[in-house]
Amino acid sequence: MLTFLQNLYAHTFKLCLPIIYSLFEGLHDHVISIGKSVNGFALLVIEISDKPGQSESEPAFKFIGNVHGDEPVGREVLIKLANWLCDNYLKDPLATLIVENMHLHILPTMNPDGFALRRRGNANNVDLNRDFPDQFFPINDEINYRQPETRAIMNWVKQEHFTASASLHGGALVANYPWDGSRDQSKQYYGCPDDKTFRYMASVYSQSHYNMSLSKEFNGGITNGAFWYPIYGGMQDWNYIHGGCFELTLEISDVKWPKAAELPVIWEHNRMSMLNLAASLVKTGVHGRIFAADTGHPIPGSLMIKGIDSEIRASRTYGDYHRMLAPGENYEVMASMEGFKTKATRILLEEEAVSLDFILDPDGADGQMKMLRNNCGCLCDNDKLFHVQGAHLELYLFVLLVVVALYVLFKRKTSSKFTTQRHSPKRPIAV
Ligand SMILES: *[C@@H]1O[C@H](CO)[C@@H](O)[C@H](O)[C@H]1NC(C)=O
Ligand SMILES: [Zn+2]
């Protein structure tokens, strides 16, 4: 563990340019501990971003490795990933995109005690991927009885507002997506409301992998969790339900404990998958901010898609939301907030991300005010105008600002001219 720590810090100091930037602001900004294992080891998270530790209106992704102590491949490739991103920032377009446009949180090991013991469970021999509260069975509902590692993840997810994530496992080669369990405990395909979104995300991983998509066991190298084998108390389903965080469970190596010499190969096989999955948070989906029409302030409203029974929340600070969605479809996007009228608009999501802001009218605003608000800010109920308005709203506001500024300047100049002229003859009188 000490060597691991030393390595972690050595890498951080030596290689992480964007992170070094904030070294002067305090060590906590880039490597933080989210809690401790049963045996007291810190659960260390590396945050990769041009502004680590600061809140921005950007999506956040997390990678978690070594959930099972005897599956160490994840922790190794995650440290490789952190180094690679720091080494290639401003050299590689994907590295630059990730550093500049999102916050990537990396927890190389969730189970340092299990790793030290070379076994699946933690120091109490509890399987951490069965220790989360479960939607179908109240087996883990008593929060205080969760393992410290589980509790650390739960608090972290409540605090950080992740858009998506992945945990890394070993023993198979497949990208697994929710649900992990089925209501009647049978082995069957049990899709969650975002089944299409998850199939898309899992495919991003498997298609970018060296040979995951060629799997003979799993069609396309992806699988629904309950279809493969149902589990209860898993981390993936809990993230989606309680964190609004779209989590995959990635099995990245057939061999659980391969020879050290094979690690660079496994890293190479997974490198593009990890980068593309993280970058998909920026490159695809629907993104925007939610504002209150009366105050102009950002609000932490809910975002829903018609026909998909799940909602995500915008952030409190910036009102920004980031919604993963399968591309190539029409969606009706709705924003709502208590005390405000819900608004909806239809979009065609193609391969690229769509930017869409909402300005919500407060409940009980009178008719005239509503009209005014609709004229100045609403992006809704108007399919044809949407693309122009949605994509260029900021540009419009900017142009408007420039025009107003020019007008004010012009008025000032002319009026000062007039004042001079008018006042000149009067000056002697005034003196
Ligand atoms: C993928 O490649 C690895 C390493 O060459 C090999 O061991 C494995 O069997 C391959 N898997 C598939 C599904 O092709
Ligand atoms: Zn595992």
Question: 211 CB less than 6 Å from ligand 1?
Answer: yes
Closest ligand relative to 71 C-alpha: 2
Phi-psi region of 230 (alpha: psi -120 to 50; beta: other; left: phi over 0): beta
Give 202 Cα–ligand 1 centroid separation in angstroms: 18
User: Whole-angstrom Cα distance, residue 222 to residue 174?
Assistant: 5
> Residue 385 has what pLDDT?
35
Question: 206 CB less than 6 Å from ligand 1?
Answer: no
Question: 213 CB less than 6 Å from ligand 1?
Answer: no
Which ligand 1 atom sits closest to the C-alpha of 216? Answer: 13
> Residue 411 has what pLDDT?
60
Give 211 Cα–ligand 1 centroid separation in angstroms: 6
Question: 214 CB less than 6 Å from ligand 1?
Answer: yes
Which residue's alpha carbon is at the smallest distance from atom 3 of ligand 1?
211
The angle at the Cα of 199, spanning 188 to 348, to the nearest 5 degrees, equals 135
> Residue 408 has what pLDDT?
67
Q: What is the pTM of this model?
A: 0.81
> Residue 397 has what pLDDT?
74
- Convert the pLDDT of each residue in 318-355 to its tens digit: 999 999 999 999 999 999 999 999 999 999 999 999 99
Closest ligand relative to 231 C-alpha: 2
Contact 200, 286 (CB under 8 A): no
Which residue's alpha carbon is at the smallest distance from atom 9 of ligand 1?
254
User: Whole-angstrom Cα distance, residue 361 to residue 372?
Assistant: 10
- Mutate which of 211, 212, 214, 268 for ligand 1 pocket (most atoms within 8 A of beta carbon): 211
> Residue 1 has what pLDDT?
36
Question: 215 CB less than 6 Å from ligand 1?
Answer: yes
> Residue 406 has what pLDDT?
74
User: Whole-angstrom Cα distance, residue 339 to residue 362?
Assistant: 6
Q: Which of 33, 43, 31, 133 is nearest to 82 (CA)?
A: 31
Residues 350-353: contacts with CB within 8 Å, 24+ apart? Answer: 351/284, 351/327, 352/283, 352/284, 353/282, 353/283, 353/284, 353/285, 353/286, 353/287
Q: What is the DSSP string of 128-168?
A: GGG-S--SS-GGG--GGGS-HHHHHHHHHHHHH--SEEEEE
57 token code pair: 């209106």
Which residue's alpha carbon is at the smallest distance from atom 2 of ligand 1?
211
Tell me the pLDDT of the chain (431 aa) as tens digits. Answer: 334 444 444 343 333 434 433 433 433 348 999 999 999 999 999 999 999 999 999 999 999 999 999 999 999 999 999 999 999 999 999 999 999 999 999 999 999 999 999 999 999 999 999 999 999 988 888 888 999 999 999 999 999 999 999 999 999 999 999 999 999 999 999 999 999 999 999 999 999 999 999 999 999 999 999 999 999 999 999 999 999 999 999 999 999 999 999 999 999 999 999 999 999 999 999 999 999 999 999 999 999 999 999 999 999 999 999 999 999 999 999 999 999 999 999 999 999 999 999 999 999 855 444 444 444 334 443 333 334 344 456 667 777 777 777 776 766 554 443 333 333 333 333 32
Which residue's alpha carbon is at the smallest distance from atom 5 of ligand 1?
211
The residues annotated with a catalytic role in the active site are 251
